[in-house]
A and B are shown apart, each in its own frame.
Chain A
Amino acid sequence: MRTLILLLSFFAATATAGENQIFLKDRPGKNLVVAQCAMCHSLDYINLHATILDRGGWEKTVGKMINIMGAPINDADKQVIINYLAQNYGK
């Protein structure tokens, strides 16, 4: 419970309380994914699409976030993010 309270107070200003209970798979690229994606939206969007998007789908989605939604992600980071999502949350 103490850990939960600490977590809640740490994230309270930037995110909703519930979304701090979302944990992504601890694999290479995770920190970058959390930093870039959670800037604009909760990470449950990722698990929501895990059985839906294959690598091509994730490439398209990440591309949309950059080109249409204006996410400031450079090409190198974009590849890391796509690889992480395709490998860990790909169809």
Chain B
Amino acid sequence: MVDRRHFIKKSAGSLAALGGLALLQRSGLTVATGAEEATLMDALPGKEALIKKTFRPPNYETPINYFDAPFTPNNRFFVRYHHAVIPDVNINEWRLRIGGDAIHTPMELNLEQLRKDFKQVEIAALCLCSGNRRGLFQPHVPGVQWGSGAMGNALWRGVRLKDVLARAGIDKSALEVSLAGADSGVLPTTPNFVKSLPLTKALDENTLIAFEMNGEPLPHWNGFPARLVIPGWTATYWIKHLNALNVISKPFDGFWMKSAYRIPKDRFPSGQFSSQETETAMPITEMVVNSLITNLEDGQTLSNSKSIEIKGVAWDSGNGIARVEISTDGGSNWQQATLKQDYGRFSWRQWQLDFEPKHPGAYRIMARATSHSGESQGLEPIPNPSGYHHNAVQNITIQLV
């Protein structure tokens, strides 16, 4: 058993907050759960404080003020695990095993070979949990009740998955590539978190095995020493602590493909994954167009002034953001925000608008992004049983006094 002792860095303040929460629970005055749950800040070893959703397996989201920068700092990057046994990978022992019934020459690579034997590339891409904003669905649906912070934008460096698979030789019978990492459940009976990709996505030139994030080795909690980066697709495929790739001729039939991370068919403008689709359901694949205001919160009071800056980020599955429109009157009138530097079509895009209020009072602020493919955000999220793809237009009220 791995020693999962956590040396949690806590300030006296957060200890007091924890004590207070415990007291409330013991007195039966439990705090409201779901998205309204009391915010508990906690730092995993090697990380700065994040919003704790669950301790074990660790699920922590990033406070949205850290999304003001083009790239999310590694030590504030969100953490999401399905299983509680997360080994500290020993770099000297780590191997990436490549096999499967549709590979010609099964092989193993160490990290040095992975770094040196293949061309290195770098790509800016948003890593976004499928269930980001699940906590905002009404009615609530089961699962981690994420707010808006289960995402982060980073510059990933690694090698192309297609180059690595080509060395092992892909048979013409290949259909999917299954992906596995070193983390596992506590019990041997728990199904490992194994995913698969359609061959076309695995061979896409943007699909990487990454070993660096924002110029540094991957943090432990974000997949050290190597993870998959599948730009444009939700993070469920971005397997951390990657240690096995299998090129297979039949659809992978594990729980995490057949039963989990699935959406109703034809309800979203999602990418295809035909070998995993049924009459009514399909795996979640591409992200949907979305935006987030990062410098204002619902209910916030500000001093009235000539100009109020509204800023945020917008993203989609890789078509790129065409425009972001802002309303300051609850949706009656819209004006275009200025898009900031473009770091590539898989990166989020920062935007900014100077709002000039005519008088003090309450203002309903909304943000709506449109992609180059013409997809835009609706006023309501699209209902689905697992609470994925929440991309409703934000609607927040600020008070100017």
Q: Which residues of A contact B (CB under 8 A)?
A: 4, 12-19, 21-26, 39-42, 44-45, 47-53, 57, 61, 68-72
Q: Which residues of B contact A (CB under 8 A)?
A: 3-8, 10, 15, 18-19, 21-22, 25-26, 28, 30, 32-34, 37, 42, 52-58, 84, 140-142, 144-145, 185-191, 255, 259
- Say how far B207's CB is from chain A's closest CB, in angstroms: 29
Contact B33 A48 (CB under 8 A): yes
Query: A18 vs B7: C-alpha distance in the bound complex, in angstroms?
Result: 10
Q: Decide: A19 near B191, CB < 8 A? Known: A47-B30, A52-B141, A53-B142.
A: no
Q: Decide: A16 near B56, CB < 8 A? Known: A21-B22, A25-B28, A47-B25.
A: yes
Q: Specify which of A39, A68, A69 lies most central, judged by the most chain B CB atoms within 10 Å of its CB.
A: A69
Residues of B within 8 A of A13 (CB): 3, 5
Contact A40 B186 (CB under 8 A): yes
Query: A69 vs B33: C-alpha distance in the bound complex, in angstroms?
Result: 24
Contact B28 A39 (CB under 8 A): no
Dominant SS among interface residues on chain A: loop
Residues of B within 8 A of A52 (CB): 33-34, 140-142, 145
- Say how far B17's CB is from chain A's closest CB, in angstroms: 10
Q: Decide: A22 near B142, CB < 8 A? Known: A16-B6, A40-B190.
A: no
- Given A16-B55, A49-B33, A51-B32; 13 other pairs, CB 8 A cutoff: A13-B5, A16-B58, A18-B55, A22-B25, A25-B25, A40-B186, A42-B56, A48-B144, A50-B33, A52-B141, A57-B142, A68-B259, A71-B187
Residues of A within 8 A of B54 (CB): 41-42, 44-45, 48
- Say how far A11's CB is from chain B's closest CB, in angstroms: 10
Return the 4 tightest CB-CB contacts between A and B, nearest first. Answer: A70-B189, A19-B55, A42-B55, A42-B56
Contact B142 A41 (CB under 8 A): no
Contact A70 B8 (CB under 8 A): no
5 contacts between A and B (CB under 8 A): A17-B7, A23-B25, A42-B54, A52-B145, A69-B190
Contact B5 A68 (CB under 8 A): no
Contact A17 B6 (CB under 8 A): yes
Our pick among A18, A40, A47, A61 for the contact of B52 (Cβ within 8 Å) is A18
Q: Decide: A44 near B55, CB < 8 A? Known: A16-B6, A70-B189, A70-B190.
A: yes
Residues of B within 8 A of A49 (CB): 33, 142
Q: Across the two chains, which residue of chain B brings its CB closest to A14?
A: B4
Query: A7 vs B54: C-alpha distance in the bound complex, in angstroms?
Result: 19
Residues of B within 8 A of A72 (CB): 187, 189
Contact A17 B33 (CB under 8 A): no
Q: Across the two chains, which residue of chain B brings its CB closest to A45?
A: B54
Our pick among A21, A24, A69, A71 for the contact of B191 (Cβ within 8 Å) is A69
Contact B26 A18 (CB under 8 A): no
Residues of A within 8 A of B141 (CB): 52
Query: A49 vs B145: C-alpha distance in the bound complex, in angstroms?
Result: 8
Contact A48 B37 (CB under 8 A): yes
Residues of B within 8 A of A23 (CB): 22, 25-26
Contact B187 A18 (CB under 8 A): no
Q: Specify which of B53, B55, B189, B259 lies most central, judged by the most chain A CB atoms within 10 Å of its CB.
A: B55
Query: A68 vs B55: C-alpha distance in the bound complex, in angstroms?
Result: 22
Query: A60 vs B382: C-alpha distance in the bound complex, in angstroms?
Result: 24
Query: A45 vs B145: C-alpha distance in the bound complex, in angstroms?
Result: 10
Residues of B within 8 A of A61 (CB): 142
Residues of A within 8 A of B190 (CB): 40, 69-70
Q: Across the two chains, which residue of chain B brings its CB closest to A43?
A: B55
- Say how far B133's CB is from chain A's closest CB, in angstroms: 15
Residues of B within 8 A of A25 (CB): 25, 28, 30
Residues of B within 8 A of A22 (CB): 22, 25, 55
Q: Across the two chains, which residue of chain A brings its CB closest to B19?
A: A21
- Say how far B106's CB is from chain A's closest CB, in angstroms: 29
- Say how far A73's CB is from chain B's closest CB, in angstroms: 11
Q: Decide: A70 near B55, CB < 8 A? Known: A17-B6, A47-B25.
A: no
Residues of B within 8 A of A19 (CB): 55-56
